[in-house]
Amino acid sequence: MSKPGSRGVVWLGSPSFPDAAREALGNTRLRANLKRATTTIRDKRLAVASELDDWEQLRDAATAIKNRTARHLDRYLVQLEAAVTAAGGTVHWASDAAEANRIVTELVQATGEREVVKIKSMATQEIGLNEALAEAGITAYETDLAELIVQLGDDRPSHILVPAIHRNRTEIRDLFTAEMAHWGQPAPENLGDDPRELAEAARLHLREKFLTAKVAVSGANFAVADTGTVVVVESEGNGRMCLTLPETLITVMGIEKTVPSWSDLEVFLQLLPRSSTGERMNPYTSTWTGTTDGDGPREFHLVLLDNGRTDTLADEVGRQVLGCIRCSACLNVCPVFERTGGHAYGSVYPGPIGAVLTPQLVGVENAASLPFASTLCGACYDACPVKIDIPEVLAHLRAKAVERKPRGAEALAMKAAATVLDSPRLLSAAQKAAALGGRALAREGRIGRLPGPLHGWSDTRDTPAPPAESFRSWWRKNREGER
Amino acid sequence: MRIALFITCFNDTLFPDTGRAVVTVLERLGHRVEFPQEQTCCGQMHFNTGYRPDAVPLVTRFARAFADYDAVVTPSASCAGMVRDNHPLLAERHGTASLLQQVTELVPRVYEFTEFLTDVLGVTDVGARFPHRVVYHPTCHSLRGLRLGDRPDRLLRAVEDIDLVDLPAADSCCGFGGTFAVKNADTSAAMLADKNAAVLDSGAEVLCAADNSCLMHIGGGLSRQGATVRTLHLAEILAATEGTAR
């Protein structure tokens, strides 16, 4: 069995969420970029979701399909393998990131090529494939516009769907002008920051790669078990280029992306574009089944990635997270993500879904601050097209995080509070003490800055001084006698 | 109908006026309210911070304290949500079969204050008068937890001479989140800043909600900014009879 340490997913050396968030919050440009972007996507999603009368039924259907698939995943995966093999593809099984990277590297090496083009893929981000290929002397070119921006900036993605959400168009123009020449076709002279101009520059830069690359690497949004069909959903057409022009196609797919049949796929193809980009239908949906003579890649390899997923499946509360279709609706509605951005999560999977997926993939003790990076406001649950109860899983993982860490000051305080709260007599005594202490600290009924662990609270907020008399004390004196 | 008030430990200690307001409103509507002294806390802080075993005795105490009542009314959406969603879960995973049975029987009789008024008593006009400009913040537990919908709004609109104004981006979380406000103080403060800007934008004199915890956070920020907006639990507005002959 693979060890969490060999799974990637988290960026090693990242600070805990509260520390990383503090730094991100100080970046006013980042906050402005994020607010504008998340608000825009949020409104678009709401508009297209509300125009479907059966939106809630679609969500229920998606949950049911994902639950059923997870329950019989062993069977569906074997069925998928058989169907892909029968259609001329080759299936590989990878228990963790290291194994998946080794498989892909060897497959590329077998072609004799030193360059691959890539379709945006969370699975390959998760395993750190580009870095692994680079170590073997193979250059991977990202062809999704936002991933290209991230790659040119030697940066990290900060959003599942819009990885460069933290960049504005001026920053992107500067990046294109400075960096494109090092990777291939340079940016046009005097490039402006109009989105149309930027897209055209990217198009010219990428065209060269599409026409020369012999190997492509993709992820998968879905794979249909009974036919062996793999599906990629995208907006820009770069995916279609990568899926059709090269001679060899290697797809890395998390095992949970399997759906039983095409009729199940129909549900997700309605939910995904509406939830992610706020479109009724995404511009490009590519499906392929093995290989076809004289049409598209001559070789197709499907790498089925576990990397912590069977561990997740074993958790009866946490397993619902495997239903995620990576739409990012939860990120766009999350008030925490909107302020901190994605990098603060220190993981390939940011936002609410990252806070419940990452700790499960790598072990909660290796991402212990993430389940606490939420107010449990529930906006993510309402937005999730698969109805993943993210707040429920967050609370569940918090309990696991507490169980697995050595008992410290917080545990002692919680234990003491539990003792007081389980006794009306001790509670009354504590209320009297609080009233006395509070009045000593307060000025005009308000307590200002506090020392110790509560300074984070009191740096920006006054606290009301506890009243002289608690409710229970008042009731005893004024109301008990009457009855 | 035997009605018990579940004051919650937080309101008991910091906001007793809210408890008195609930009693005032229910008595004005002709009901008698009891206060079982054995009650303490629903265990929400322990549950949400990951200390589940510590919350179990509180679940047991809650089930015992309120077993004999037809209705348990609480002026806290988040505590009502804790009881409804998580007491059965804690009893099932960490408690005994008999606790689970007690909890399962009790939970359907636990109501957040506005639910009790509108759904059980069937009233929206509770005979209040409050001649002030008021804005209502739907707390996350009111909005997405209990799905209170327009219940608070219906009750507030029936208050005589109230000037109820809209809150921009009302459905955004204020950033409190219990221990989140301490563990992630900076992010919490950033969310609070936006909420406070919206409250000030609304032009209201009074901000009300169904949770004093969120109000303490928002009000604490407003106070630190030197703003004059007051925070008040909506029960206290429903209890008010300013300038009437009552």
Q: Strand (E) positions, A281-412?
A: 284-289, 299-305
Interatomic CA distance for residues B148 and B132, integer angstroms: 23
How does residue B86 score in pLDDT terms, banded at 50, 70 and 90?
A: very high
Answer whether A351 touches B (CB < 8 Å).
Answer: no
Between the alpha carbon of residue A176 and those of residues A201, A324, B75, B185, the distances in Å are: 8, 33, 56, 37
Q: Which residues contact A386 (CB under 8 A, 6 or more apart)?
A: A59, A62, A63, A66, A271, A323, A324, A325
> Mean pLDDT throughout B170-181?
96
Q: How confident is the model at residue A4 (pLDDT cuts 50, 70, 90)?
A: low
Q: Residue A273: which H helix or E strand, with range? A: helix A262-276
Q: What is the ipTM of this complex?
A: 0.96
Question: Which of B13, B54, B182 lies closest to A457 in CB terms?
Answer: B182
B78 contacts B141 by C-beta, under 8 angstroms: yes
Instruction: State the Cα–Cα distance between residues B18 and B114, nearest whole angstrom.
Output: 13
Interface contact A375-B186, CB threshold 8 A: no
d(CA A25, CA A344): 10
Q: What is the pLDDT of residue B108?
A: 98
Which parts of B120-233 fold into alpha helices (H)? 140, 151-157, 180-183, 185-202, 212-225
Give the domain B133-239 fold: Rossmann fold (3.40.50)
CA A46 – CA A483 distance, rounded (Å): 54
Rounded average pLDDT over B200-213: 97
pLDDT given for residue A228 in this prediction: 98
Task: State mean pLDDT over B94-114.
Answer: 97
Q: Return the number of CB contacts < 8 Å for A and B.
A: 186
- Tokens for B126, please give them: 């509770």
- Specify which residues B133 forms β-bridges with: B163
Cβ-nearest to B37 among A453, A460, A472: A472
Over range B197-211, report the average pLDDT: 97
Residue ranges of domains in chain A: 17-309, 409-482
Instruction: Please check the confidence at residue B206 and state whether its pLDDT lies above 60.
Output: yes
Whether B164 and chain A come into contact, CB under 8 Å, resolves to no
pLDDT greater than 60 at residue A408: yes
Report pLDDT for A456. Answer: 83
For B226-246, what is the mean pLDDT?
Answer: 90
Instruction: Report d(CA A254, CA A122) in Å as an integer.
Output: 9
A81-118 confidence digits (pLDDT tens):
999 999 999 999 999 999 999 999 999 999 999 999 99
Query: In Å, how far from its chain's centre is CA A259?
Result: 20
Q: What residues of chain B, 61 to 100, have a C-beta less than 8 Å from chain A?
A: 61, 86
Phi-psi region of A190 (alpha: psi -120 to 50; beta: other; left: phi over 0): left
Report the percentage of chain A scoring pLDDT > 70: 98
A443: Cβ–Cβ under 8 A, 6 or more apart, which residues?
none
Closest in A376, A382, A483 to B177, CB measured: A376
* Homologous superfamily, domain A17-309: NagB/RpiA/CoA transferase-like (3.40.50.10420)
Contact A466, A438 (CB under 8 A): yes
- Residue from B22, B49, B92, B194 whose CB has the most chain A CBs within 10 Å, to mutate: B49
CA dist A445 → A223, A448, A466, B234 (Å):
62, 10, 8, 21
pLDDT single digits (tens) A227-244:
999 999 999 999 999 999
Give contacts of B180 with chain A, Cβ < 8 Å: 372, 374-376
How big is chain A, counted in residues? 483
Q: What is the pLDDT of residue A12?
A: 75
Contact A386, A323 (CB under 8 A): yes
Whether A35 and A338 have beta carbons less than 8 Å apart is answered as: yes
Q: What is the pLDDT of residues B128-172, one digit of tens each?
A: 999 999 999 999 999 999 999 999 999 999 999 999 999 999 999
Task: Please say if the pLDDT value at position A466 is more than 70.
Answer: yes
Residue A251: strand pairing partners? A218, A302
Q: What pLDDT shows up at residue B12?
A: 97
Nearest-CA neighbor of B142 among B205, B204, B79, B187?
A: B79
pLDDT above 80: residue A13 = no
Beta strands in A256-296 (DSSP E): 258-259, 284-289
Closest Cα partner for B24 from B171, B128, B167?
A: B128
Q: Which residues of B touch A31 (CB under 8 A)?
A: 190
Alpha-carbon distance A461 to nearest alpha carbon in chain B (angstroms): 4
Interface test with A, best of B23, B184, B222, B228 (most A CBs within 10 A): B184
pTM, two decimals, is 0.95
Report, as an integer, the average pLDDT of A465-474.
94
CA atoms of A65 and A370, how far apart (whole Å): 28
In 3D space, the residue among B131, B200, B139, B199 whose CA is nearest the CA of residue B172 turns out to be: B139
Smallest Cβ distance to B186: which of A22, A411, A463?
A22
Taking only residues 403 to 462 of chain A, the set having a beta carbon closer than 8 angstroms to any beta carbon of chain B reads 403, 410-411, 414-415, 417-418, 421-424, 427, 430-431, 434, 446, 453-457, 459-462
pLDDT band at A375 (very low <50, low <70, confident <90, very high): very high
Helix or strand holding residue A58 (H, E):
helix A55-71
Q: Which residues of B touch A374 (CB under 8 A)?
A: 177, 180
pLDDT at A483 over 60: no
Residue matched to tokens 């919050």: A25
Nearest to B54 among A398, A418, A454 (CB): A418
Q: What does the pLDDT look like over A255-274, one tens digit per residue?
A: 999 999 999 999 999 999 99
pLDDT value at B246 more than 60: no
Give the residue on A whose Cα is nearest the Cα of B58: A422
pLDDT at A226: 97
pLDDT above 90 covers a percentage of chain B that reads: 98
In chain B, which residues fall in CATH 3.40.50?
133-239
Q: Indicate the DSSP class of residue A465.
A: P
Provide CB contacts within 8 A for A260, sequence distance 6+: A65, A68, A69, A76, A224, A225, A226
Rounded mean pLDDT, B23-42: 97
Chain A contact present for B40, CB below 8 A: yes
For chain B, report the end-to-end CA distance as a whole number of angstroms: 25
CB B231 within 8 A of CB B21: no
Predicted confidence (pLDDT) at residue A482 exceeds the cutoff of 80: no
A178 touches chain B (CB under 8 A): no
Any CB–CB contact under 8 A between A134 and chain B?
A: no
Cross-chain residue pair A470–B177, CB shorter than 8 Å? no
In this predicted structure, what is the pLDDT of residue A470? 96
Is A460 in contact with B185 (Cβ distance < 8 A)?
Answer: yes
Q: Which residues of B touch A406 (CB under 8 A)?
A: none
Does the distance separating the beta carbons of A456 and B175 come in below 8 Å?
no
Nearest CA in chain B to A31: B190
Most confident of A148-152, A170-174, A363-367, B117-121: B117-121
The least confident of A7-16, A201-210, A238-247 is A7-16
